[in-house]
Structure 1
Amino acid sequence: MKYIQNNPKNSVEAMLQGYFFERKHLIDYDSKHKIIYRQKENQVALISGGGSGHEPAHFGYVGEGMLTASVNGDLFVPPSADAVLAAIKKTDAGKGVLLIVKNYASDIAVFSQAKKDAEQMGHIVEMIIVTDDHSIENDVSYKKRHRGVAGTILVHKILGAYAQQGMELTELTILGNNIIENLYTLGVALTPARLPGNQTPSYMLNDDEVYFGVGIHGEKGYRKEPYISSEQLAIELINKLRRLNNWAPHEKYALLVNGLGSTPLMEQYIFANDLRRLFNMEHLDIPFVKVGTHLTSYNMHGISLTLLKIVDQQWVEALQQPTDASHW
């Protein structure tokens, strides 16, 4: 498989330099620590990040009304605690810092260490862990395995809007955890990701198969079956979400349709249209819809569906609030 790159060892740095070249009028870049960030502002700083390979997450969401900084590791490898600490020091304007972390053990360890180190220096830091992936079928142990995936982007957007309005750190932390409790993502792959320098895929999938429940780092899903149509994918995911939510007619949900890396927009919108018809049949109110490639698994051909139960109408207003983040 061919890749548009030069030296694979320098791909992350080259990508971030290219992004900064495009956005230097709006952001700053710390090449030593691989941090995309905004200058300090009179608000709580919001920091996220993780391994690269999930673009445009997370640097594509650094902007006014969203993240203050993104800390970027190597391909599918989290950044160092020192890099996260550097981001905290660059962005803390005295209002405190909220770390938004996806639920992977290595990410949590890194961000937790940075939080501890920053607090010893006098910074006030809180951390929330996004656990929106509900694909795991084991009803006994699955809560321990909720991964953080595309729903993280909705957390960034809502908290970014509230932080811009002046909400304090403690309130933002409570709000973030409330959002996460009402956030559900399911994914399906048509092909595995194939990383440069590693031609062995993380799992095997026949040409005529799909794989439900895969993770964004190639973690195993819960079922393979022959591919039939976009509509059948949508039916499977909605049926599972219905069991999880036990929703009632006219409940409100925000919807995020996310391409996992190599999924054309045509396919994403076809899938969104299938969801539209199925949600109409469920008599659900969908006041906010976002379709696009937001948090990927490098070049995986696949799609994910995120639903956020709207328990406060102001969440919809926060999702609709303008931002200059490049990939919202």
Structure 2
Amino acid sequence: MKKFINHVDDFLAESLAGFAAAHADLVVLNNEPVFVRRKVLKPGKVALVSGGGSGHEPLHSGFVGHGMLDAACPGQIFTSPTPDQMMAAAMAVDTGPGVLFIVKNYSGDVMNFEMASEMSEVQNAIVLINDDVAVEDSSYTTGRRGVAGTVIVEKLVGSMAESGASLEQCKAFGDRINKCTASMGVAFTSCVVPAAGTRTFKIGDDEIEVGVGIHGEPGRRRAKMAPADAIVAELLSAIVDDLKPQPDAELLVLVNGLGGTPLGELYLLFNSTRAWLGQRGLNIGRAQVGALTTSLEMAGASITLSVLDDEMKTHWDSAVHAPSLRWGM
């Protein structure tokens, strides 16, 4: 295993310390229990709190800031944070109107966020993200997994919260976005969890895992390597079959790198996506390309589509100022 690391047990603490120091103008790191919060809170605003296992950076800590999250709770690599982290984070960022927990559909995350929700003294609600169309159940989930669509929910609901919406409005908006968002990924390689020191799964040099999860969970099938256009066609066919957009629908497209894929290849995938959608009369209204929901150093990518309406476009375009996503300011 070759990684920039000192001691396995110190990896998360040292990484978070570096993250907080690099973005000290935007975030503050709390160490006991561990969470990252916005440096400057906005009084009277619904607070957004998310989190999950580390290894998916910049998700979630990289999206703490104006227009997105108020706090993020990082667990150890691919391991859920604990309820005490979530409760402390909620208490730290609540300014009165309540807290919305944004939770990816993984068993540990769901259980711990639900416990935090029940035990917290802060008024709160939960939005559950389950955008992955690859498989209905896995070793990590009951139901569909939450993957890169989480970024879209955090951005759009974060904007709505900044505009002064109530907790009920923010939850309803988050649930609606989740229902019109779908994702699917593909992996060329596995990744190495530092504590394990070996690859999560084995895959041949000429093979790909279609529908892989962001922790290395199996997908729909193991296949032979294929041209990018063919891979994109398989992913988009599954996504569009799930969403069933109208022929003239306007879409938000997120092409996401899983950690080890060059940006040039991601733009090539976007070009293939643009061509495939265009041939079917589906329009790209907004686009984002980059590594936003990763799986350590896994080589691969995912595609996410959201069916847009005017309200969603307004909140996507609004200003955001977080360590890993910035525009309009």
Give percent identity, aligned residues only.
34
| Aligned pairs, number | 320
Compute the TM-score of the two structures, normalised by the length of structure 1: 0.94
Aligned-partner Cα distance in 2 for 1:35–1:320: 28
Which deviates further from its counterpart, 223-232 or 45-54?
223-232
State which of 314, 319, 324 in structure 2 corresponds to 1:322: 319
Distance 1:115 1:144 in 2: 19
Q: Distance in 2 between matches of 1:13 and 1:113?
A: 25
Amino acid at match of 2:97: K
Give the structure 1 partner of residue 42 of structure 2. 41
The residue number in structure 2 matching 1:303 is: 301
Structure 1 residues not aligned, in runs of 5+: none
Q: CA deviation at 1:246?
A: 3.1
- Counterpart for residue 256 of structure 2: 258
After TM superposition, the score normalised by the length of structure 2 is 0.94
- Give matches, 1:212-231, under 5 Å: 212-231=210-229
Could you tell me whether the CA contact under 8 Å between 1:258 and 1:268 is conserved in 2? yes
Matched, 1:129 2:128: yes
Question: For the Cα contact (< 8 Å) 1:259–1:295, is it kept in 2?
Answer: yes
The 8 Å contact of residues 40 and 90 in structure 1, kept in 2 or not, is answered as no
Measure, in 2, the Cα distance between the counterparts of 1:5 and 1:22: 18
Deviating more after overlay: 246-255 vs 14-23? 246-255
Q: Deviations over 1:190-233 (max 9, x none)?
A: 01111224243332211001111111112111111111211111
1:159 corresponding residue in structure 2: 157
Kindly state the Cα deviation for residue 144 of structure 1 after the two structures are TM-superposed: 4.2
Q: Provide the residue aligned with 2:75 in structure 1.
A: 73
Conserved 8 A contact 1:137-1:222: no
1:216 aligned counterpart, secondary structure: coil
Gaps of 5+ in 2: none
Name the CA distance, whole Å, in 2 between partners of 1:282 and 1:247. 11
1:27 aligns with 2:27: yes
Alignment partner, residue 310 of structure 2: 313
**Cα root mean square deviation, aligned:** 1.4
Specify the alignment match of 1:96 in structure 2. 98
**Aligned counterparts of 2:59 and 2:33: Cα–Cα separation in 1:** 17
Report SS of the residue matched to 1:145. Answer: coil
Q: What is the rounded CA distance, in whole Å, between the counterparts of 1:137 and 1:10 in structure 2?
A: 35
Q: Match for 2:88: what amino acid? A: A
Q: Which residue matches 1:232?
A: 230
- The residue aligned with 1:208 is 206
